[in-house]
Amino acid sequence: MAITNIYTGDGCPHVILSTETNNSMPRMKPCYYVPHLPQHPLDASPIGRLESIPDGVRAYVPDPLPRSLALPPGVVYLLDEASREVATLAGVGETLLNPRLLIAPFLRLEAVLSSRIEGTQASLSDIYVFEAGASEPPDAREVWNCVQAVEHGLARLDSLPISQRLLLELHALLLAGVRGGDLRPGELRSRQVWIAAPGTPVERARFVPPPAPALPDLLADWERFVHDQGPLPPLVRAALMHYQFEAIHPFIDGNGRIGRLLIPLLLAERGVLRTPLLYLSAYFERRRPEYYDQLLALSHSGDWTPWLRFFLLGVRDQARDALRRARTLRDLHEHYRALLTERRAAASVFQLLDELWIRPVFTRRHAADRLGVTVAATRAIIDRLQAAGIVAPVPDTYPQLFRADELLAALE
């Protein structure tokens, strides 16, 4: 048996144990256990069962998800609030002349925060520096992979619905060329893993995902639930889908990030929020201990109400925050356009202004590529943005980086 001890430095220690030898270091991430719960909290779970596996360990196997739920008044009230906020946000996205001006920064913000839950330290600025090709800050590629996975998933929805096949594609992109990239990217796990504090005996592990042979059937029902046309409201369906995916834990690494990016994919597929402007990872990251407590407590109690309240509160709050940020970014864009109009800037300057919302940190080469002009021609264009106070050179960088500081501040 291979035992890998991990300590994240955030007060949340781990040990991942496997019946196969594994010399690679898994992604360090917050733990999936609730320290104050009794020793085997899942023994009496009403929504799953414990199944014996080798070495005297029992794995948790969740039951199929319910296709309907009786929602208590408090949840109905929160659902109504959250749905109205998401509808307002959807309206903003649908009325944008160029939705990319909001989609690109919001996707990157979601990727940064979702990856941060898993222990990465890269900031939004780091991702833009990485995209500019100037350097590779620590963890930047992992976050960039998350961006690529979300964008791929959204693009694939036109031809491929949310499915096991899409999960494997997303997972392969997520782990490509990074730590964990040797842990079967794009494949379901074939071995048993479990999670517990360092030094904890195997039989006292806090959470043990289902055995690998159970994964195909579990994911098949999960997929049927995602596409079920029953009475569950889309936001409730998203909450149940996310819980079940985390409980199944189908991959050796990357489960949390895949599980969170599935939320905007489901809302897009259901037509609830076709413009992916909702970034729930900000809420989960702020309330990280409660997020993990709620997931495991649900497996323990079988009571959907606390998890639904937690999830819907996050949807409501993050929809409001996204709406505020969207208006701030739109107002800033309009302000810059008015400023450049007063200065009688050329069309190419306005074109580069729009590109700042996609890439607020850039080089002259990137500007030239985006505008379809020579590098020499970009000098005059960038000079106009500098003169207007919209961008500024980043000191001591080669190739020379330019950065839109006010825009980055609005995003971060």
Q: What is the pLDDT of residues 184-193, one digit of tens each?
A: 899 999 988 7
For 200, residues 6+ apart whose C-beta sits below 8 A from its C-beta are 15, 206
**To the nearest whole percent, how much of the chain has pLDDT over 90?**
62
Indicate the pTM of the whole model: 0.85
pLDDT tens-digit map of 14-57: 334 443 434 444 444 444 433 443 455 788 899 999 998 887 78
Is pLDDT of 286 > 90?
yes
Q: Between 250 and 23, whose confidence is greater?
A: 250
Q: What is the rounded average pLDDT of the residues 252-275? A: 94
The pLDDT-based confidence of 196 (bands split at 50, 70, 90) is: low
Please say whether the dihedral angle defined by the alpha carbons of residues 370, 376, 380 and 383, taken in this order, is positive or negative: positive
Is pLDDT of 137 > 80?
no
Assess contact for 122 and 141: CB atoms under 8 A: no
pLDDT tens-digit map of 327-380: 898 899 999 999 999 999 999 999 999 999 989 999 999 999 989 999 999 999
What distances in angstroms separate CA 21 from CA 55, 58, 226, 289, one per listed residue?
A: 15, 20, 35, 30
Q: What is the rounded average pLDDT of the residues 100-109? A: 86
> Would you state the pLDDT for residue 238?
98
Closest CA to 332 of 386, 406, 412: 406
> Would you state the pLDDT for residue 197?
66
Q: Between 98 and 151, whose confidence is greater?
A: 151
At residue 89, the 3 state secondary structure works out as helix
At residue 52, the 3 state secondary structure works out as strand
**DSSP at 207:** B
Assess contact for 110 and 281: CB atoms under 8 A: yes
> Would you state the pLDDT for residue 147?
92
Q: How many other C-beta atoms can be found within 10 angstroms of the C-beta atom of residue 230?
A: 9
Cα(36)–Cα(112) distance, rounded to whole angstroms? 30
For 249, residues 6+ apart whose C-beta sits below 8 A from its C-beta are 189, 193, 209, 210, 255
Is pLDDT of 222 > 60?
yes
